[in-house]
Amino acid sequence: MLKHKQGTSLQDPQAHALSHESWNRRTFLRMLGLSGAGSILLGSTPVTALASSQLATLLSAMEGERILVLIRLKGGNDGINTIIPVFDYSTYKSLRPGIAIPNNQIINLNPSFGIQNRMGALEKMWKDGDMKVIHNVGYPEQNLSHFRSSDIWATTSDAKVLESSGWLGRWLEDVNPDYLSKPPKMPPAIQIGGAGNLAFTNTKNDNMAVVVNDPEELARIAQSGRLYDPLDVPDCYYGEQLTYLRTLTNTTFTYAQGIETAYKAGKNTVEYPANLGAQLALVARLIKGGLGTRLYMVTLDGFDNHADQNNNHPALLENIAQSVSLFYQDLQTGGWADKVLAMTISEFGRRPEQNASQGTDHGAAAPLMLFGPGLNGNGFIGKNPNLKDLDEDGNLKFSTDFRQIYATVLENWLCIGSAEVDAVMGRRFDRLPTLGLQCSPATSTYNLQTRRLAMKVSTGQREVRVQYDLPESMAVQIRIVGITGQVLQEQNLGQRMSGEQQSNLRLKENILPGIYIVQILAGNRIGSEKAFLH
């Protein structure tokens, strides 16, 4: 007898509703992260910009100007109605007699797999060698909760390990370890819709996404690059704190100005559909307008189809197919198509067997689609899905770990050094050479010059204690930095031996009670942490 986890099907309506309520509440709370904040609206589309000046420098310096676009299919996409296993159509049909796509509505991509005819806009991309599919993507011990599985995809943690930092947040922290005292200047990544994902959270639990939410405000902000005067504040500690908040907010508005400038400079040359199309139209316009951003995430919601799936899912797939096809046509007119790689992600697939409501419940493994000329040909990667050998929940077994795909894209598309990729991912994951991605010979692999130093800060009355671990003997300096970036106190601690260290610092009289940044500088390593000093 198959075991179904609570909240993964409509058979558990209360648990399922609570799961969604928790998911949405946690997502809302994440949008309130302080370290960077704001969503801006271009037209009616919300935009969130991710901030890190060094990553911007890194990605903009890469010759070839490669761009990665993540297409998030929120809710758990039904993989076998997306990439249909025609090689075992009889089993497929028997598992879902009411929602299987009829044979006469399938476009065969090869003798074994096809897409439903409402995805026909992708057929030319497949024939042109601009599309690949990876079968059975997932991870060990698949979690069937939307919220938890989304976190696993964002943090790259194991299923039973609670990790609070995201893979991109860790990368940003590594390439910009002193970001707390050097506010970002350019948005190296932009997320459209679906705010609150952990992918951009660092190890200090700071959300490195920047948010602003008002459409009319954007026009005003674009003219001056700011909304608040950071100098018109009281001459006291409260004024310093207010200056910090206004400076942080104005940094967001500076992003808004740059995005608005690129938006006006770029032009769409095709007519996009709504939903995902509107988002990709904006991405294409920003790319063609010269924004310089290298990482994008767009979101299409509505894939949690527990009932009446065929009244909704085919339209979503049609929206993906038309939007992606037009996106690359649009990019081609500006000479950008071969510089952009797009791929879909979703927290899980759906159960192969339909439920009693003509829908599908939460599943496990699912196909992942990639698009773009940079793939160097079409193809299917990985083992075929086996509909006759399901797991104990009745779900497809995974054969390709999604973290292998992340690592391959980081190293072979964005050309980030292998050791740095392994550090961001938490350990080494085998790369997938069959993806066909290659760094161009002119593109140099980036290696970190300044590295993050892990540290822990504790405070006492007029004293700071910092614990850290040195990999080798180094000269060490400790700093107290104001929240507007000025160095208020520093002390050279001399040469310290390798291993665990603790350094104490008595605070000067000018350090009033409040929030500050404590830094340790050791060789080419920097540790930064916010602390309340008193």
Question: Once rounded to an integer, what is the mean pLDDT over residues 510-530?
Answer: 87
Q: Which residues contact 335 (CB under 8 A, 6 or more apart)?
A: none
Angle of helix 276-288 relative to helix 237-265, nearest 10 degrees, comes to: 90
Q: Is the pLDDT of residue 195 over 70?
A: no
Q: Is the pLDDT of residue 501 over 80?
A: yes
Opening angle at CA 423, ends 422 and 428, nearest 5: 30
Question: Once rounded to an integer, what is the mean pLDDT over residues 469-492?
Answer: 88
Q: What is the pLDDT of residues 247-271, one digit of tens each?
A: 555 555 556 677 778 888 889 999 9
Q: Is 518 helix (H, G, I), strand (E, B) or coil?
A: strand
Show the DSSP H helices in 413-518 as ranges: 418-425
Helix (H) or strand (E) holding 222: helix 215-224
Q: Is the pLDDT of residue 213 over 70?
A: no
Q: What share of the chain is helix, strand, coil (3-state, %, to 5)?
A: 35, 25, 40
Gyration radius of the chain over CA positions: 24
Q: What is the pLDDT of residue 246?
A: 57
State how far the Cα of 381 lies from the Cα of 431, in Å rounded to an integer.
13
Q: What is the pLDDT of residues 365-396, one digit of tens each?
A: 999 999 999 999 999 999 999 999 999 999 99
Q: What is the pLDDT of residue 261?
A: 80
Backbone angles phi, psi at 282, to 5 degrees: -65, -45
State how far the Cα of 484 lies from the Cα of 182, in Å rounded to an integer.
9
Q: What is the pLDDT of residues 333-376, one digit of tens each?
A: 989 999 999 999 999 999 999 999 999 999 999 999 999 999 99
DSSP secondary structure letter of residue 301: E
29-43, 47-61, 176-190, 275-289: which is most confident: 275-289
Q: What is the pLDDT of residues 21-35, one digit of tens each?
A: 544 444 433 433 333
Q: What is the pLDDT of residues 415-429, one digit of tens each?
A: 888 888 898 888 999
| E strand residue ranges, 125-166 | 131-138
Q: What is the pLDDT of residue 362?
A: 97
Percent of the chain with pLDDT over 90: 51
**Region of residue 193 (left: phi > 0; alpha: psi -120 to 50; beta: else):** left
Tell me the pTM: 0.78
The DSSP string of 79-96 is: GGGTSEEGGGHHHHHHH-
Q: Is the pLDDT of residue 192 over 70?
A: yes
Q: Is 476 helix (H, G, I), strand (E, B) or coil?
A: strand
State how far the Cα of 251 lies from the Cα of 90, in Å rounded to an integer.
58
For the chain, which domains are there?
59-435 (3.40.720.10), 455-533 (2.60.40.1930)
Opening angle at CA 15, ends 12 and 19, nearest 5: 130
Q: What is the pLDDT of residue 226?
A: 46
Tell me the pLDDT of the chain averaged across its residues: 80
State how far the Cα of 185 lies from the Cα of 251, in Å rounded to an integer.
7
Q: What is the pLDDT of residue 39?
A: 44
Lowest-pLDDT range, 5-19, 155-169, 196-210? Answer: 5-19
Question: Once rounded to an integer, what is the mean pLDDT over residues 69-95?
Answer: 97
State how far the Cα of 121 lies from the Cα of 78, in Å rounded to an integer.
19
Q: What is the pLDDT of residue 417?
A: 86
**Residue 271 Cα to chain centre, angstroms:** 27
Question: Once rounded to an integer, what is the mean pLDDT over residues 438-447?
Answer: 56
Helix (H) or strand (E) holding 401: strand 400-401
Q: Which residue has the higher pLDDT, 10 or 42?
A: 10
Lowest-pLDDT range, 19-23, 218-222, 241-245, 491-495? Answer: 218-222
Q: What is the pLDDT of residue 14?
A: 59
State how far the Cα of 300 lies from the Cα of 69, in Å rounded to an integer.
13
State how far the Cα of 485 lies from the Cα of 243, in Å rounded to an integer.
11
DSSP secondary structure letter of residue 350: B
